[in-house]
Amino acid sequence: MSQIIDAKGKPCPTPVLMAKKAMSEGAETFTILVDNQTAVENLKRLADNQGFQAAVREEAGAYALDFVKGEGCAACEEAVSSPLPTPGADWAVFVGRDIIGDGDRELGTNLIRMFFYTLTQSEDKPGAVLFMNAGVKLPTLDEQVVEHLKALSDAGTEILVCGTCLNFYGLSDQLKVGTVSNMYDIVTRMQKATKVISL
């Protein structure tokens, strides 16, 4: 019997992560349930990229996507046989704000929490996460982000937090994860990285 994964009500990108987990565990057929069109489109792209076919059907106000490992399809064969990029290249994330984007603050807060959660689920984790300016509010005040950062730290990611910035915001005694650092160390860590992603 095909595995059924209930991802209804789960925020992006959780349905994709749940489907990817099933694939990594060797599932060749499974059904995932979602309740919005965005999740449907994201899962269809995942299927295409991973050599699966995904048939979509509506069921009781939700969507069911039936995943089947592709057969006899050149694009599918290529997706299955092509090796993924090797994890482990040293890269860093620079965080200068406590939200993602310039729009709604609540949305930006949710996005940055989901960003760090997604990093914890990735095979290719950053070598370092660097916090400056308002970004230092995340490893001090945001419990969800703190938990994700602890998971990253346990996996070997270096967490450096600007001490001057902590002092400016009155947060010096509230750091919950990471090492109090300085401009020199943070710049040096950025120079060492093969790439730096800035949020």
Give the E-state strand segments of 35-193 in sequence order.
52-59, 62-69, 91-95, 128-131, 158-162, 179-181
173's tokens: 């005694």
SS3 136: helix
Residue that is written with structure tokens 């650092």 in the block = 181
Q: Which CATH architecture has domain 3-81?
A: 2-Layer Sandwich (3.30)
Q: What is the pLDDT of residue 11?
A: 82
Enumerate residues 6+ apart whose C-beta is below 8 A from 47.
Answer: 53, 54, 65, 67
Q: What is the pLDDT of residue 49?
A: 86
CATH 3.40.1260.10 positions along the chain are 91-198
Q: What is the pLDDT of residue 180?
A: 94
Mean pLDDT of 188-196: 94
**Stronger pLDDT, 92 or 184, i.e. the higher one:** 92
SS3 content of the chain, % helix, strand, coil (to 5): 45, 25, 35
CATH classification of 91-198, choosing from 3.40.50.720, 3.40.30.160, 3.90.1150.10, 3.40.1260.10? 3.40.1260.10
Instruction: Say yes or no to pLDDT of 86 above 70.
Output: no
Rounded distance, CA 98 to CA 54, Å?
37
Amino acid (one-letter) located at 119: L
**Stronger pLDDT, 14 or 134, i.e. the higher one:** 134
Enumerate residues 6+ apart whose C-beta is below 8 A from 115.
Answer: 100, 199
CATH 3.30.110.40 positions along the chain are 3-81
Instruction: Say yes or no to pLDDT of 190 above 60.
Output: yes
